[in-house]
Every structure is written in structure tokens, then in C-alpha cells.
Amino acid sequence: MASEQAERLVKTVERHADGRISSVELVQLVARIKETKVNLQSKFEQYDQDNTGFVKPEDAVIIMSQEFHGLPQSSIQAMVQRYDRDHNGMVDFGEIIEFYACLKAKSHELEVRFNDLDRDASGVLEPEELFQILQAECALKDFQVHSLVEDFDVNKDGKIDRSEFLYMWTNLFG
Ligand SMILES: [Ca+2]
Ligand SMILES: [Ca+2]
């Protein structure tokens, strides 16, 4: 399952590559995603000893807390709940891994690309502006982008300004 998901993610990145990202950058990005996935996957497997592809919500919270120290516990719990889609009390951790491996691999690039991302030059990032890049390069779903915005939208205006953006990335990946 792990390698299939990795391949799928890589294909997604390749398919959506446009003139904005050079082939060297793309290769580096893909390599970073793969490396991050391998690390997260091995942690996941410690909790999924029967190889079911799922972990208990409390274990997912532990893994995420270890990996993303700055992320508030409440955000992690909310996120894990969102991933328990059929409410059977088990979390498809493979999906979380895919999501975070890509975010983590992109973190530096995103951090230095605020102006680029702010396509309408409004000075803040609307969810749609974050959605475009994260959808294209990480194959994120709507709710994942909205959940990120919700977690780090300090002044609750529904947008991510420069300081919130910095706070987001240093908390997730600092
Ligand atoms: Ca904007
Ligand atoms: Ca805001």
C-alpha cells in the first residue's frame, strides 16, 4: 500500500508540473516527498502491527504530535477525527502520511513564495490561493486546505496573512 501511494503521489506531482517548476526542482521535490513518506510510514507501522492500513485515533494523535511538535493538540485531534471518515474509530493513516509528506517537502518553497502565491496581490492568501498550489502539487482535498486555514487563521478572517503564514510553517515544520 505504501509504495502504491508513493507512486500515485509522484504521478500527481508530475502530471501537474507546469512551467513554474523546473525538472531539477521537481526531481528534488519528489525525492523529498519519498524520503518523508518513508520516515512517517515506519512510525505508522509500529502502531499497525497487523498491517491493516489503519491505526487507532489515539495512536494517530501520538504519531502526529511526535512529528509536528508545534501543532496544537486540539488541531491534531480535529484532523484525526476528519480522517476517520466512516466513523469506525480507525484512521487511514496512509492518507495523513500522503498529505503531510507533501506539505513537509514543500514547506521551504511555500515559505519563500508568499508573494507568488498571492495571485490577486491582496496581501493575504485566500483559501483558493493556497488550494491552487496544494491541489496541483500535493493533490490535497478541499477539506484539508480549509482545515489548515482554520487552524492557523489567528484573527479568524478566513484568510492567511503574512504573519499567520509564517506561524503556520514554522509551527508545522520548524
Ligand atoms: Ca490574495
Ligand atoms: Ca487571518
Distance, CA 116 to ligand 1 centroid (Å)?
Answer: 10
The region of weakest confidence among 13-17, 23-27, 116-120, 143-147 is 13-17
User: 3-class SS at 55?
Assistant: strand
Q: In terms of pTM, does the model score above 0.85?
A: no
Task: Report the chain's C-alpha Rg in angstroms.
Answer: 16
Task: Please state which CATH number belongs to domain 2-173.
Answer: 1.10.238.10
Distance, CA 40 to ligand 2 centroid (Å)?
Answer: 30
Distance, CA 27 to ligand 1 centroid (Å)?
Answer: 29
What does the pLDDT read at residue 22?
Answer: 58
Q: For 67-80, what is the mean pLDDT?
A: 74
What does the pLDDT read at residue 156?
Answer: 93
Distance, CA 137 to ligand 2 centroid (Å)?
Answer: 23
Distance, CA 160 to ligand 1 centroid (Å)?
Answer: 9
The CA–CA distances, whole Å, from 46 to 42, 54, 102 equal 7, 12, 21
The region of weakest confidence among 7-11, 15-19, 32-36, 157-161 is 15-19
Distance, CA 129 to ligand 1 centroid (Å)?
Answer: 7
**pLDDT of 78-133, one tens digit each?**
777 777 766 777 888 777 777 777 777 776 677 677 888 898 999 999 988 888 77
Higher pLDDT, 60 or 11: 60
What does the pLDDT read at residue 122?
Answer: 93
What does the pLDDT read at residue 17?
Answer: 45
What does the pLDDT read at residue 51?
Answer: 85
User: 3-class SS at 120?
Assistant: coil
Ligand minimally distant from the alpha carbon of residue 126:
1
Distance, CA 165 to ligand 1 centroid (Å)?
Answer: 12
Distance, CA 162 to ligand 1 centroid (Å)?
Answer: 11
**Torsional sign, CA 108, 112, 116, 122:** positive
Average pLDDT over the chain reads: 75
Pairwise CA distance, residues 24 & 15, whole Å: 15
Distance, CA 114 to ligand 1 centroid (Å)?
Answer: 9
Say whether pLDDT at 157 is over 90: yes
